[in-house]
Each structure stands twice: as structure tokens, then as C-alpha cells.
Amino acid sequence: MAVGRVCGCKGECQRRHGRYRPALRRGIDAADRQAAHERPDASRLPTTDRLTGPGMWVIATISDTKRLALVVDVESGETVTIPVRPEFIDQTIAGRPPCRPFGITWTADELFIVNNRQLLVFDDQLEYARTSEVRLQVNMHQLAYRAGYIWAVSPWTNSLIGVSPTPGDPPVEFGLVTQRLGPYLAHEGKEDDDRFHFNSLLWGSNCLFVAAHAFGAPSFIARYELPELRLSTVRHDAGSSVHGVAVDGDELFWISSGTGEIRSDRGFCFPLTRAGYGRGLAVTNEHLIVAVSERRSRGERHAGDSWIQVIDRRGGSLVTEVYLAETGSVNDLRLLDGHDYAHGVDLLRSFTMA
């Protein structure tokens, strides 16, 4: 499967690098492109049959409870919505939003979004297909596909839960504290059992990174060696309320959400130019892509606006920013049409190079 680069050359992209054309894109006329540069009207977001045009496409899960996720071309501002369906709302959840989409990952032909206890499955055209029969936990966080499993970070059980894309295959669970891998037996985790608030993961070629918010204590990033999943090192200087992990070569990146910075273990530190809460990170050869939401208390995160920023990795300057109206907090973000060092998964079939 072809994995391409993300560039900032705008209209020359096709001539210089070729361009990405997912099968589901239809073409965009001048009026639509002009409108794409205006502030989006949340009441008139297009549906998935209007996902159009070349560009740098990301998908972000959001908290407004009406839309599960937005697919955004950060070059043009074109925005597409994936709506919340009635069956995505779980009214049995107490003290938490009944619909809270978070982590995103995919295989070649299916995209997955975790929503509390549900693992939602979409086809490569981003149309809802089914919900996994595996019952997960409340407050699930980031997802990443690896070795035949969709791995989901479960803060309340201090573990990763692995779900096979093949219906009927048994799920597995890896204890991030116990370092034990075994069958996943569905049960109800409790918020009081959340020891470190593990929230983000990244599978490398020979290791697994897992980031922990750590509540009021300094955040940390744990490294587990493959294939035995043995804890080898813990980076304790990650900042505050860390989210997201990326590795390019031997350089590790993350968001220190509490201090409003993107950091790396080589001393890179980019203070976000937009005041707010950074959560959702993608990293390419040339850019850092981060979602920033208004800082709000937990009970108010369904409201407010957000922004997606594209930052030049080499110069540390802001390249562009996309405003997203009335999204509530962005929970996670993935790059759809280029290699992402924060995800490390081959592209969906519909987003391969034409």
C-alpha cells in the first residue's frame, strides 16, 4: 500500500508529488471551495457523500454529541461530518457523556472509532457498518491497530484491550501495570481504579509506548519491549496532562496538554499559539498537526469551539489553522492520507495514492 508525504505546496501538489484521491471524493466546484474557506456552519455540515478534492485530510472525534467525528481537509477547510446515530448513545452510563467518541484507527478496509463501551466499525468509505460484539469499558481512549488486533487504551482498567477485526475471535487484554497478557473478560471497570490515567499508545517496530496523564503528578511515557511486552523504561519528564505519542527515527514527540506545548526528547518544544487544550496529534516528515479545544470542565466539554493547527517541524512556525465551530472538545485526531508517525498504520484503501 502506498504511503505518501504531506506537503505544503498547495496547488502545485499534484505536479510535484502526485495527489491523493480517495475513491469517495467526487470533485468540488468553485462555489464549494470558496465556501470552504469561510467559518463552517455547524448546522449545515456536509454529509459523507460530499467528501471531495485533494488535500491534507484528518479525522477528529468530537464531543458535541450530535457528530461523532469530522473529516477535515486542513488545506482547503472542506469539512465532512460523521453523524451520531441513536444506537451510539448509551443512557446506562452515569456521570459521563452517554456518547463519547475517542480513539481512531483502521485496517486496509475498515475504520474503527471507540465510543465508551462500543467499538464502532466503518467501511473504507467512512459509512457505518456495525458495532463489535465485544463490550469494552466506559471512558475508553486511544486506539491503534497492530498484529491482527485493534488495541484500545482503557484507563479504568489500567490496560490495553485487543479486539480482532474478525467477528467471533476472542479479545485479549494486556495489563500495563501487571505486564500480563491474557484473555479479556468483560466486566465493569471503576473510575476509582484508574491509577495513572493511561490514555495514548503507539506501536513501534520493536516496542510499545504508552502515555499516562498521571492526574496532578508529572505525566510519564512507558516503553515496553516486544515481543514479550516487558517494561523497559519510563520517561518521567513528559510535562503535564500528556496526550499523544509519535516516534520518528529515535525522536519521541508528545503533547504536554497542561502546559500547552508539543515536546520531544531531543529538546524540541513548541508552545501552541492558540490558547486552549491540545489533544490529538499527527506527525509527518514536515509537519506537526494538533487539535486545540477550549479549556472547559468535564461537564461542559460538549460545548465550545476547536481548531486544527499545522506546524512546520523544522522552523517551528504555524503554517495554517482551521477553525471548527461548536464541536465541543476534540478527543483524538488521525491523519488519513499520509504516513503518520503518531499512528504507524498503513492507509485505508480509499486513501491510497491514485
Average pLDDT over residues 23-42: 34
Q: Measure the CA–CA gap between 277 and 240, rounded to whole angstroms.
A: 11
Report if residue 345 sits inside a domain.
yes
Is 5 among the domain residues? Answer: no
Evaluate if residue 277 carries a pLDDT over 50: yes
pLDDT, tens digit (0-9, with 9 covering 90-100), for 84-140: 999 999 999 988 899 999 999 999 999 999 999 999 999 999 999 999 999 999 999
3 belongs to a structural domain: no
pTM: 0.85
- Is the pLDDT at 21 greater than 70? The verdict is no
Share of the chain above pLDDT 70, in %: 84
Q: Which band of pLDDT confidence, cut at 50, 70 and 90, is reported for residue 296?
A: confident
Closest alpha carbon to 9 in 338, 273, 270, 286? 286
Find how far residue 244's CA is from the centre of its chain.
Answer: 8
Round to whole Å and give the CA distance between 351 and 336: 7
What does the mean pLDDT of the chain come to?
Answer: 85
Q: State the cell numbers at 223.
A: 516503553
pLDDT tens digits for 42-59?
333 333 344 444 568 999
* Dihedral sign of CA atoms 7, 3, 279, 331 in order: positive
Domain presence at residue 4 = no
In a domain, 57, yes or no: yes
Cα 282 from Cα 63, distance rounded (Å): 19
Mean pLDDT of 229-250: 94
Inside any domain, residue 183: yes
Question: Which residues are registered as beta bridge partners of 106?
Answer: 111
Q: Which triple of cell numbers denotes residue 255? A: 503533547
CATH number reported for the structural domain that contains residue 117 in this entry? 2.120.10.30
Structural contact between residues 74 and 20, judged by C-beta atoms closer than 8 angstroms: no
pLDDT given for residue 178 in this prediction: 96
Q: Per-residue confidence at 19, pLDDT binned at 50, 70, 90?
A: very low
Mean per-residue pLDDT, 213-231: 94
Is residue 6 over pLDDT 70?
Answer: no
Grid coordinates representing 322 are 482551521
Per-residue DSSP letter, 343: T
Count how many residues are written for the chain: 354
pLDDT at 95: 86
2 is a domain residue: no
Structural domain that includes position 274: 10-351
**Residue 85: per-residue pLDDT:** 97
Numbers of helices and strands, H then E, in the chain: 2, 25
Say what the pLDDT of residue 263 is. Answer: 94
DSSP 198: E
Q: What's the domain count of the chain?
A: 1
